[in-house]
Amino acid sequence: MTGVRKVVVIGAGGHAKVVIDILKSDPTVCLAGCTTKAPGSEVSGIPILGDDSVLPRLYKEGVRHAFVAIGDNWLREKLCRQTAEAGFELVNAISPRAFIAESATLGSGIAVMAGAVIHAEAHIGDYAVINTNASVDHECRIGTACHIAPGSTLSGNVTVGTGTLLGTGTKVIDGIRIGEWSVVGAGATVVRDIPDDCTAVGVPARVIKRRR
């Protein structure tokens, strides 16, 4: 098949298993294998090729595309930058059972899981994760390396800063700004802006800790 891309998956944990399933459904992707420090010979039916030290060899052998399947936002952002700087093109893993509006825009290295909805003119930044059954409404802006966890619901015109995690089942009313590198706890309801570098929990969400 012309246009097929050989892709290496960086990571082999639970998040990687979901990503591998999605990439297997993409007819333009041929999975070369995955990298991890953990022992074993395969994950979800694809071979473990070694740790990340094998990436330069894979590149020389013609594997020019990669997906960084790491759940931790900070580490994913770091590894995505390093992988891109090494010459790999980062692909997107988008479930065929997700809905993405034609006017939405997506960066690179993004995971969009089954049941996710991304509505009109929303923007999803590089390396972000829109997880299972999460809903991102019109004109939202999701920053680089964010994670919108399963079942989260964002109303229109919400901004989520770089590296922020919205925990499972988070609800956000329209027009809210959530800062960079913050964490909103599972089940929280956000009705006022959340600053950078903090943890917020509860209904309504309130800041309980400043983060470094």
Q: What is the pLDDT of residue 101?
A: 98
Residue 112's pLDDT band (cuts 50, 70, 90): very high
Sheet with 29-35: list strands edge to edge.
Answer: 42-43, 46-50, 29-35, 5-10, 65-68, 89-90
Other CB atoms closer than 10 Å to residue 162's CB: what's the count?
20
E strands of 56-96, at which residues?
65-68, 89-90, 93-94
Give CA–CA dist 4/82, Å, rounded: 24
Q: What is the pLDDT of residue 1?
A: 45
| pLDDT tens per residue, range 67-76 | 999 999 999 9
Other CB atoms closer than 10 Å to residue 53's CB: what's the count?
9
- Compute φ and ψ for 147, nearest 5 degrees: -130, 115
Give CA–CA dist 40/20, Å, rounded: 16
| pLDDT tens per residue, range 25-42 | 999 999 999 999 988 899
- Compute φ and ψ for 197, nearest 5 degrees: 55, 50
| Average pLDDT over all residues of the chain | 96
| pLDDT tens per residue, range 78-105 | 999 999 999 999 999 999 999 999 999 9
CATH fold of 5-91, please?
Rossmann fold (3.40.50)
Q: What is the pLDDT of residue 67?
A: 98
Is the per-residue pLDDT at 23 higher than 60? yes
Other CB atoms closer than 10 Å to residue 27's CB: what's the count?
9
| Residue from 15, 119, 123, 138 carrying the catalytic annotation | 138
Distances in Å between the Cα of 87 and the Cα atoms of 60, 65, 84 are: 11, 9, 5
Structure tokens at 206: 């309130």
Q: Is 65 a residue of the active site? A: no
Return residue ranges of the chain for CATH 2.160.10.10. Answer: 94-202
Q: Average pLDDT, stretch 148-174?
A: 98
Q: What is the pLDDT of residue 2?
A: 55
Q: Is 71 annotated as a binding residue?
A: yes
Return residue ranges of the chain for CATH 3.40.50.20. Answer: 5-91
Query: Comparing 16-25, 34-43, 72-81, 115-124, which segment has the lowest mean pLDDT?
Result: 34-43
CATH class of the 94-202 domain in this structure: mainly beta
